[in-house]
Amino acid sequence: MSRIWSEEGRLARWLEVELAALDGWGELGTIPAADVAAIRAAAKPPTPERVAEIERVTDHDLAAFVDAVAEQLGPEGRWVHYGLTSSDVVDTTLSLQIQDAGKLLLVEIDRALDAVVRRAEQHRDSICIGRSHGIHAEPTTFGWKLAGWAFELDRDRTRLARALESNRVGQLSGTVGTYAAIDPEVERIACERLGLETDPVSTQVIARDRHAELLAMLALVAASLDRFATEIRHLARTEVREVEEPFAAGMKGSSAMPHKRNPKVAERICGLARVVRASAIVGFENVALWHERDISHSSAERIVVPDAFLALDYMLDRFTWIVDGLVVYPERMRRNIDASHGLVFSHRLLLALVGAGLDRGEAYRVVQRHAMQAWDEERDFRELVLADSEISTRLDTAALESVFDLAATVQHVDIVFERLRALAHNQEAVHV
Residue positions annotated with a catalytic role: 133, 254
Kindly provide the residue ranges of all beta strands, DSSP E only, lying in 228-319, ordered along the sequence.
243-244
Q: Select from 83, 69, 105 the least CA-distant residue to 22.
A: 83
Q: Is 427 exposed, middle or buried (0-12, 13-18, 19+ CB in 10 A)?
A: exposed
Q: Select from 403, 401, 388, 316 the least CA-distant residue to 355.
A: 403
Tell me, what DSSP letter sits at residue 139? Answer: E
Scanning 79-135, the segments in alpha helix (DSSP H) are: 86-122
Q: Residue 170 belongs to what H/E stretch?
A: strand 169-170
Question: What residues have CB less than 8 Å from 97, skipping those under 6 apart?
Answer: 4, 5, 9, 10, 13
Task: Report the Cα–Cα distance between both ends of the chain, in Å, rounded.
Answer: 42
Q: How far apart are CA 227 and CA 156, in angstroms?
A: 13
Q: How many H helices and E strands in the chain?
A: 18, 6
Q: How far apart are CA 165 and CA 292, in angstroms?
A: 24
